[in-house]
Amino acid sequence: MAASKVMDYIDYAVVGTCTSFGDLTNATEQLGGCADATRGLFGGGRIGGSNTDIIEYITIQTTGNGTDFGDLTEARRNIASGVQG
């Protein structure tokens, strides 16, 4: 699978339709993600064949591009997130 900047979302009320949400700042592959009802986070991955430490966020309620959220402690890919509770 090729790296991509594109983020889509699915409106479950409309069967079979994906709509553009926005773009990440870089074409990235093998990144991890997590979300709650307010914010989605994406981190790590590979950009141009190298691991990255970039973290970006989106606001769930509004479409738009990813925004810088800081950095991981080291560049890595294929990271996973969990939910505690």
**6, part of any domain:** no
Residue 56 included in any domain: yes
pLDDT value of position 45: 94
For residue 81, what are its two tokens?
A: 């997130």
pLDDT tens, residue by residue, 40-85:
999 999 999 999 999 999 999 999 999 999 999 999 999 887 655 5
What pLDDT does 67 receive?
96
User: Domains in the chain: how many in total?
Assistant: 1
Average pLDDT over residues 16-27: 92
Indicate whether 55 belongs to any domain.
yes
pLDDT at 7: 94
Q: Kindly state whether residue 1 falls inside one of the protein's structural domains.
A: no
Q: Which long-range contacts (CB under 8 A, 24 or more apart) does 56-63 make?
A: 56/24, 56/25, 58/7, 58/21, 58/22, 60/35, 60/36, 63/9, 63/20, 63/21, 63/22
Record the pTM.
0.84
Domain that holds residue 45: 23-76
- Tell me whether residue 43 is in a domain: yes
